[in-house]
Structure 1
Amino acid sequence: MAAQDFNLLLATDSYKITHYKQYPPNVSKIYSYFECRRKKASQFSEVVFFGLQYLLKKYLIGQVVTEEKIQEAKLFYQMHFRQAVFDEESWRKILEKHDGRLPIRIKAVPEGRIIPRGNVLFTTMLVQMWYPITVATISREFKKILAKHLKATSGSLEGLDLKLHDFGYRGVSSQESAALGGAAHMVNFCSTDTVAGLLMAQRYYGCPMAGFSIPAAEHSDSYDIFNACKHIWGDKLKERVMERSQDSCLVIRPDSGDPAETLIEVIKILEECFGCSLNSMGYKVLPSYLRIIQGDGIDLCSVDEILQKLCDEGWSAENIFFGCGSALLQKLSRDTLNYGRVQTASDRPNQGLEAGSVIPEEKL
């Protein structure tokens, strides 16, 4: 939907249209804040704040209230509720007094900031911010796991920002989900195949190119990965593989079977065919022209398990990259980080109502 076609007056849960009738008399200020509630025994103790600038620029800047949109909303809610509940008068005041621009003030922590749970992230009612925040937070958890193993097995964090590739484009619910989630991943990494996220970063964050990819063949689970490693790349094409440089290395993608077991078998075959060396930490590293990417069955638990098993076998995390799709952009919800909003109403600037008058928005 183009921004000019978006009707902000319809962008809400139905029941909120009736709230203006439920506030105490003379209310002139509404104050809302958004947080990720604290939860005991959660794997996420912090969140990465991201996505606000996009939502503001796309949906809230400029004249967002027009006479046409007021009439559209009035008719819609009359049909929806089968009674007159729409506050036409107040919306027309915004149109006449503020030329259709929203008289709101939003305060927020800086985007990209890492915030302990239980703290206010921003003030106003943009509840759908939960999605990019959650993706950025999960992406950072991946980064912490990858950093731990890379540091332990190589003594360095070099190349960390390329270690997790976003494969989530095809698995999300919409182009906008791909854009928001894909850009959120770019807060932590610069490796992606989700073009929509890169375009969003260009348009709304002024980033010419936030992420990178490489030419690749379509993967298929039908061929024999062990045969391909041993007899095709490791024999028939061996000389051509060895001619490659570190900047154009062959990246092999095994996607079938148990990820850890398959990877260990693959890396042993490649060692037999191409050899390996020991790094400064005493862990084995394949030649620089050869690496592996695992893109099947990847989530926070499996990445940690895979890297630990490779470490136990004497292999450095330098040898492997990961691709993640649904676990990065789709297998999450607003409950993943226990998001919530609290709203207060007042007839005095910057003050809430008396005790007992706070309105919890648990349904949000």
Structure 2
Amino acid sequence: MQYLNNLLLNTDSYKASHWLQYPPGTDKTFFYVESRGGRYDSTVFFGLQAILKEYLAHPVTHADVDEARDFFAAHGEPFNEIGWRHIVGAHGGRLPLRIRAVPEGSVVPTHQALVTVESTDPAAYWLPSYLETLLLRLWYPVTVATTSWQVKQTIKAFLDRTSDAPEAQLPFKLHDFGARGVSSLESAAIGGMSHLVNFQGTDTVSGVLAARRYYGALMAGYSIPAAEHSTITSWGRDHEVDAYRNMLSQFAKPGSLVAVVSDSYDIFQAIREHWGTTLREAVIASGATVVIRPDSGDPVHVVHECLRLLDEAFGSTINSKGYKVLNHVRVIQGDGVNPDSIRAILERITDAGYATDNIAFGMGGALLQHMNRDTQKFALKCSAARIGGHWVDVFKAPVTDAGKVSQRGRLTLLRHREYGTYKTVPVPADCESIEDMPLPIGWEHALETVWENGVLLRSWTFDEVRARSLMI
């Protein structure tokens, strides 16, 4: 959507008037981003680098200012043309901001400052507020990465309990099925990339491309040949078994994986009669692992029943932890999958004696779409302003909602070297440089300056992000 490329119009309408609303003598402002709680008590920080590279790395031009001026004049809002012309003239269109952030991939408890944004030019004190709309969309990649990470902890716990090879299997236990269920291609790219922080299985091509563009990952995710209902039902119900036989002949090679949706008609009959009887020897002879995909019904019951029927047909081996691992076949559940149903499915099959080796999950809407900014209660708030040469605290404290009380003063995030704990602390008023502030014994700065005056100072690789998400 090329018509949306003007950074000056990537904001809320009312932001255009805010430069007139600060007290006289204001020459600097300081903002921070935090998760104020929500479904999970910690978040995986991810996605700021993509936002900076995509939107802030391109200098503002006089043509951008012209377009914004004309738009807001017709739209009914005042526009700070002088201020934006100053940014173009004095800074070459590069934004006079300093952005400090926790390293991407960090797992940080809620109620902590994850990002701070401050103006660096007295004539552009209003700029951090103007960019709030854009920068706060950070909530989306963080929330997707957090949801995916939390599911990873659930699956890991069951793998550790029931599997002989948990670490080797974990990266492919949750597959991204979400591309068709999100609101835009950009959402698929950002959300799909965020999931890949934790797993390597995906069908969201745009997410893999985003990880390559913004984090240098040549190939962050992988997929396998898989059937959909149309490729099965086009053979007709009377030739359902021929559709399955074709999948074997096309894709089932020694050591390969092939996924086949098998509930277009009757999943249980398909397992008993087609996979477990007619095609049983062909499956075994192929040397492939055939992954049966149910796609309807109650996920907890259906997965358990599919495992039981596949066990009857192909048999299983008892591993060292006393759990059954199916021979030649597996199951992937992609319907009705969310963090709660994944746990319920794993509890059921574990109680029935089946190892987590036997199951993988595909998650779509619940992974990339069923969330919003309030899932983790994200906010970007002003906490300090320099007025008349002195820093003053800026905060809100509504009597009707204590959960919306904001932090005050210039802030930074500290991390304990030994224990890995975090705490957000105010910066002393007489300390001009945050990096030079005195720190309590045992603590270090957890925020790094990643952006300053139009220059990206720190660029994380995807491997670095992934490794950091494991450090808990």
TM-score (norm. length: structure 1): 0.92
Matches within 5 A, 1:20-35: 20-35=19-34
Residue 8 of structure 2 corresponds to which residue in structure 1? 9
Q: 1:106 aligns with which of 99, 109, 127?
A: 99
Deviation sequence 1:187-218 (CA, Å, 0-9, x none): 00000000000000111110000010000110
Matches within 5 A, 1:1-364: 1-2=1-2, 6-38=5-37, 42=39, 44-63=40-59, 65-81=60-76, 85-124=78-117, 125=132, 126-157=135-166, 158-219=168-229, 221-245=263-287, 248-287=288-327, 289-343=328-382, 344-347=384-387, 352-353=391-392, 355=393, 357-358=394-395
Deviation sequence 1:99-146 (CA, Å, 0-9, x none): 111111110011111111111111233100000000000000110110
Is the CA contact 1:341–1:360 (under 8 Å) kept in the aligned structure 2?
A: no
Is the CA contact 2:4–2:10 (under 8 Å) kept in the aligned structure 1?
A: no
Q: Write the distance in 2 (CA, Å) between the matches of 1:148 and 1:161.
A: 14
How far the C-alpha of 1:183 sits from its partner, in A, is 0.2
Is the CA contact 1:244–1:250 (under 8 Å) kept in the aligned structure 2?
A: no
Is the CA contact 1:345–1:358 (under 8 Å) kept in the aligned structure 2?
A: no
Q: Write the distance in 2 (CA, Å) between the matches of 1:352 and 1:302.
A: 50
Deviation sequence 1:217-254 (CA, Å, 0-9, x none): 10465311111111111111111111233xx4101001
Q: Write the distance in 2 (CA, Å) between the matches of 1:183 and 1:55.
A: 13
Q: Write the distance in 2 (CA, Å) between the matches of 1:162 and 1:348.
A: 57
Is the CA contact 2:325–2:357 (under 8 Å) kept in the aligned structure 1?
A: yes
Q: Residue 19 and residue 273 in structure 1: after superposition, are their counterparts in 2 closer, same or farther (change >3 A)?
A: same
Q: Write the distance in 2 (CA, Å) between the matches of 1:291 and 1:335.
A: 37
Is the CA contact 1:29–1:348 (under 8 Å) kept in the aligned structure 2?
A: no
Q: Write the distance in 1 (CA, Å) between the matches of 2:91 and 2:314.
A: 70
Q: Write the distance in 2 (CA, Å) between the matches of 1:45 and 1:184.
A: 18
Q: Write the distance in 2 (CA, Å) between the matches of 1:269 and 1:156.
A: 24
Secondary structure of the equivalent of 1:106?
strand
Q: Residue 75 and residue 318 in structure 1: after superposition, are their counterparts in 2 closer, same or farther (change >3 A)?
A: same
How far the C-alpha of 1:360 sits from its partner, in A, is 8.4
CA RMSD of aligned residues (A): 1.8
AA in 1 matched with 2:142? I
Deviation sequence 1:65-95 (CA, Å, 0-9, x none): 11111111111111111x6x10100000001
Q: Write the distance in 2 (CA, Å) between the matches of 1:360 and 1:11.
A: 28
Q: Write the distance in 1 (CA, Å) between the matches of 2:149 and 2:397.
A: 30
Q: Write the distance in 2 (CA, Å) between the matches of 1:244 and 1:34.
A: 53
Q: Write the distance in 2 (CA, Å) between the matches of 1:199 and 1:26.
A: 46
AA in 2 matched with 1:335? D
Is the CA contact 1:342–1:360 (under 8 Å) kept in the aligned structure 2?
A: no
Identical-residue share of aligned pairs (%):
48
Q: Write the distance in 1 (CA, Å) between the matches of 2:70 and 2:20.
A: 19
Secondary structure of the equivalent of 1:105?
strand
Q: Residue 236 and residue 67 in structure 1: after superposition, are their counterparts in 2 closer, same or farther (change >3 A)?
A: same
Secondary structure of the equivalent of 1:251?
strand
Is the CA contact 1:27–1:346 (under 8 Å) kept in the aligned structure 2?
A: yes
Secondary structure of the equivalent of 2:99?
coil
Secondary structure of the equivalent of 1:30?
strand
Q: Residue 97 and residue 156 in structure 1: after superposition, are their counterparts in 2 closer, same or farther (change >3 A)?
A: same
How far the C-alpha of 1:352 sits from its partner, in A, is 3.5
How far the C-alpha of 1:341 sits from its partner, in A, is 1.7
Q: Write the distance in 2 (CA, Å) between the matches of 1:161 and 1:222.
A: 29
How far the C-alpha of 1:62 sits from its partner, in A, is 3.4
Is the CA contact 2:87–2:93 (under 8 Å) kept in the aligned structure 1?
A: yes
Q: Write the distance in 2 (CA, Å) between the matches of 1:277 and 1:348.
A: 75
AA in 2 matched with 1:252? I
How far the C-alpha of 1:345 sits from its partner, in A, is 2.3
Secondary structure of the equivalent of 1:28?
strand
Pairs aligned (count): 349
Q: Write the distance in 2 (CA, Å) between the matches of 1:6 and 1:86.
A: 18
Q: Write the distance in 1 (CA, Å) between the matches of 2:64 and 2:163.
A: 59
Q: Residue 218 and residue 86 in structure 1: after superposition, are their counterparts in 2 closer, same or farther (change >3 A)?
A: same
Q: Write the distance in 2 (CA, Å) between the matches of 1:332 and 1:326.
A: 9
Is the CA contact 2:325–2:354 (under 8 Å) kept in the aligned structure 1?
A: yes
Q: Write the distance in 2 (CA, Å) between the matches of 1:276 and 1:34.
A: 51
Is the CA contact 2:31–2:116 (under 8 Å) kept in the aligned structure 1?
A: yes
How far the C-alpha of 1:358 sits from its partner, in A, is 3.7
Q: Which runs of 5+ in 2 are unaligned?
A: 118-131, 230-260, 399-403, 405-472
Q: Residue 348 and residue 305 in structure 1: after superposition, are their counterparts in 2 closer, same or farther (change >3 A)?
A: farther
